[in-house]
Amino acid sequence: MPGTACQKAIQIWSEKNEGANPEEAEVVKLMCLSPPIEKMDSSLNTLVNVRHLSLSTNTIDKMIPLPALKNLEILSLGRNVIKKITGLEEVGATLRELWISYNSISVLDGLTPCTKLTTLFMSNNKINDWEELSKLQANSELTNILLVGNPIYDGLSKKEARPLVLEQLPKIGTLDGELLTGEDDE
């Protein structure tokens, strides 16, 4: 059975939200569809007012540029089959949070355009090289990151992984859901 097209998903969302106009909505959640969304497509660009777009729990394998989403602050793509972070150039100036846990991402390329990014949730992906974290140094606003469940943590407790993360990303204030106070960094 073919997947749900984004245009159809937007129509379903509108019907479930009492005929809300998707072009005016600030929060649009196209999650857990049956059949799932397999591909992001240009119909997402009709969501011109959206600040929080959720496409979680589908079978999306590739991110695409969303040039019309000039107000996008939170993009949620968790629980898909994405292998690579791409297409963020057009939303990089406004995107504050990227929720992309439970995918198949092994490299941290594609985030440099996200100059306002404060939060990156990417637990349970395939990051297996500590050097990948150094790519996030370009994201100077980044203070909250979720990495647990990636191969870089294999054999380490969260407490053992913490200094290895901070070595690459000293500005992090919240790691794996825990506020870093500095008290236990001895």
- The per-residue pLDDT for 186 is 45
What is the Cα–Cα distance from 33 to 103, expressed in whole angstroms? 17
Confidence of residue 184 (pLDDT cuts 50, 70, 90): low
- The per-residue pLDDT for 35 is 96
pLDDT tens digits along 137-167? 999 999 999 999 999 999 999 899 999 999 9
Confidence (pTM): 0.95
Other C-beta atoms closer than 10 Å to the C-beta of 182 total: 7
Q: The tokens 């100077």 sit on which residue?
A: 140
Q: The tokens 């005929």 sit on which residue?
A: 19
Confidence of residue 1 (pLDDT cuts 50, 70, 90): confident
pLDDT tens digits along 9-63? 999 999 999 999 999 999 999 999 999 999 999 999 999 999 999 999 999 999 9
Contact 178, 172 (CB under 8 A): no
Enumerate residues 6+ apart whose C-beta is below 8 A from 106: 83, 125, 126, 127, 128, 132
What is the Cα–Cα distance from 70 to 91, expressed in whole angstroms? 6
- The per-residue pLDDT for 183 is 64
C-alpha closest to that of 121 among 93, 94, 149, 140: 149
The pLDDT mean for the chain works out to: 96
pLDDT tens digits along 84-123? 999 999 999 999 999 999 999 999 999 999 999 999 999 9
